[in-house]
Amino acid sequence: MNLPRGAVMALGVTSLAALASPCSIANAASLAPVGGPVASAEAAPDAWPARTPAQSSDPAVERRIDDLIAAMSLEQKVGQIIQADIASVTPDDVYRYHLGSVLNGGNSDPGGRYNAPAKNWLAAADAFYAASMRPNGKLPRIPVIWGSDAVHGHNNVVGATLFPHNIGLGAARNPDLIRRIGAVTAIEMRVTGLDWTFAPTLAVVRDDRWGRTYEGFGETPEIATSYAAPLIEGLQGKVGDKDWLRGPHIIATAKHFLGDGGTLGGKDQGDAQMPEAQLRDLFSPPYLPAIDAGVQSVMVSFSSWNGAKMHGNRSLLTGVMKGRWNFDGFLVGDWNGHGQVAGCTATDCAESAIAGLDMYMAPDSWKELYHTTLAHARDGTLPIARLDDAVRRILRVKIRAGLFETGKPSSRPYGGRFELLGGTEHRALARQAVRESLVLLKNAGSLLPLKPGANILVAGDGADNLTKQTGGWTLSWQGTGTKRSDFPNAQSIWEGIDAEVKAAGGSATLSVEGRYTRKPDVAIVIFGEDPYAEFQGDRPDVGYDDAKNLALLHTLKAAGIPTVSVFLSGRAMWVNPFLNASDAFVAAWLPGSEGGGVADVLFGKSDFRGKLPYSWPKASDQTAVNVGDENYDPLFAYGFGLTFADKGDLALLPETRAGVAAADPGVLFAAGKPGSARRLMLGAPGALSTNPGPELIQARGADRAAQEDSVRFRWTGAGPAVAAIVQDAPADLSRQSNGDLALELELKVDAPPSAEVSLLMGCGAGCAGGFPLRAMLVEAAKTAKWTRIAIPLRCFEKAGVDMTRVETPLSIATSGTLDLVLSSARIVSPTGTALQCKQD
């Protein structure tokens, strides 16, 4: 989707001054700097199932650990329990501070490049390993381990095989497939020198508003419990085998302990308010087979239980996990999660270690945390026995994995065998996973399977869009900002369809907008959610809104063209209008790199076998509908899924949204993402998209109050470029303008503009207005603080904007360089001094 033509014309460099004249900035001085639990959270371990260790401890390993601990300095012990992010740590830091681990967060990559080549990952792994093994007096050398969120394949690395996200794998109901996926993921991680994945996610998801719903296998413990052991054995190998944790295998992590999918309202990092029996019986079952399968690390949840943060819950971390269940690996935290414990900060939290945390995930806080933790160990606040136990657990895993003997990552088995990334056999497995994950919800008149020899129209913004197809946790945390060339070993759904049709002598045409010159026999429309991940993916309800693709379906229906909808989503959603407008409807989830798997099933090479892992809502406010609930009444029940042989007709469904409050229409941008029914578009004037290349303008997540709750824009100066919030449908803001509301921005300027900057609104062809912003941004850069700017909507109206049909409520354009972080953009009653229009 492009910016309205008139507005794009207005963004041309030569027209910026003209647009600025009706409205100007009163003065730079108006830049204002911005400055109970429901039940007990104490678990009774004796009320939880007891677990006998699957293997006895190895006396030789324990003696070796004893010797290492005796030879270690206190500083070295503290370093072992701290993990730093590669964006904030160097190999020299690992050496100096004796760090036990590094990780790459969702937006951290070697050299700061989201699409860094695989060889750079291997080189970085070698560098960190070498630093950890560099001689340091008489201190023993302890190899560093590198953790990474490989949650649907080795998804941080360009060219890797990308499997369907867990929601799709849950639909497949195939434990053997899961085992093989784990094995492939482990090998591809070994290729790039990494030895530890933060997977699998064993969340039982009870409210589909949660932005991590697609990371869970389902809404009941059933699927995750059946998958835990095979997936972990695929990743780690089998306990007792010679290649357990070695050779083609890596270290796995069961996460997030505990109750992450049960928070009130589906809020990420929220509070699971429930009795202990419910926490135990609903959320803990997958962890027991995981531990029995030998999982070596367990990640602690960001969330709380009855008001108490899991990172500080001794009764669960020590009492249940280590005591009752005899887990002898180590507990790792989540991204500065220790800082949320009462009385703690990200840089000072002995309480988490005392509660049972063995390794702090301190991505950017590691250095200060190291110093405060060392001080706590010296003064006894952190008991030495607890510190030694944490170190023992970490060393035990490193010894079991053979890290002391295997040498640098590039010298280990599979290291540097880059041809295995996205290899033929690996992609074939991913394609099988796609086929088995698809769920058929409607098939009126047995439209499916299609005949590949027909004349087929392929439409929708998800058809040829690997960014959308692969979802979050793909090359970046939120999965955004990627382009086609970032997926060299992948096939879009359109490409899979086109290959299938060509092979059969048919005709396939791609038109995102659904245009055609010869009436097609059938249309396949592919659409759905844009990528997101934790926090930013949280929603107020589960209603899906997409005016453009719904209008397309209606147009095709009116023309008498049979339509197949392929819906891409990270959760079950209310899509009644789309179901009514489609003859067949496929829930394709987030299929990953192998779009050909979708084509295989649409054309009947394989039948549908996927079954819903989540109940499908019949109303947009049916956000927590789970099998077994009292008055359980979904549209499609848990376990539903048609095959070609089933009668697939569906009665007309009600299309009225339920009474959940819609998202605030005044929010243009907040919490790191555009507001409801709006999109962030970037690029050159006249050529905007959601995923442009980095040549003119770059957008990456940035932290303010929470991880990636803001976005950093960097204009390169290579040519005119725009960052814009674009409406899915025109908005009437005349009432807001008459009511003296303002466009209010909260931003921080890291590098001032080198050329004029224009702040604009667009209202269709030949309709735009705004004014220059450079002087204001220069002043903001001098403060280096968060700044609030409020511009009355009437300024834009006087500048020529038709407030009854605003299509682009915010765009920032410049031909020079500029580096700013945007925290929020809202249409509100200004909270501070608003700028005055020139005519006021």
Residues forming the active site:
334, 534
H helices within 459-575, ranges in order? Answer: 466-470, 493-503, 547-558
H helices within 451-595, ranges in order? Answer: 466-470, 493-503, 547-558, 576-580
Helix axes 175-191, 221-236, angle to 10 degrees: 40
CA–CA separation, 699 vs 682, rounded Å? 8
User: If DSSP codes are grouped into helix, strand and coil, which group holds residue 585?
Assistant: strand
Phi, psi of 253 (to 5 degrees): -135, 125
Q: Please report which helix (H) or strand (E) contains residue 397, including its range.
A: helix 384-400
In residues, how long is the chain?
A: 840
Contacts of 222 (CB under 8 A, 6+ apart): none
| Number of neighbouring beta carbons within 10 Å of residue 654 | 11
Q: What sign results for the dihedral spanned by CA atoms 347, 348, 352, 358?
A: positive
| Number of neighbouring beta carbons within 10 Å of residue 511 | 16
Nearest CA to 19 out of 6, 2, 4, 29 is that of 6
Q: Please report which helix (H) or strand (E) contains residue 507, including its range.
A: strand 507-510
- Annotate 661-680 with b (16+ C-beta within 10 A) or e (fewer): eebeebbbbbbbbbbeebbb
Are 569 and 469 contacting, i.e. CB atoms less than 8 angstroms apart? no
Are 303 and 270 contacting, i.e. CB atoms less than 8 angstroms apart? yes
CA–CA separation, 90 vs 127, rounded Å? 9
Contacts of 15 (CB under 8 A, 6+ apart): 9
Burial of 473 (0-12, 13-18, 19+ CB in 10 A): buried
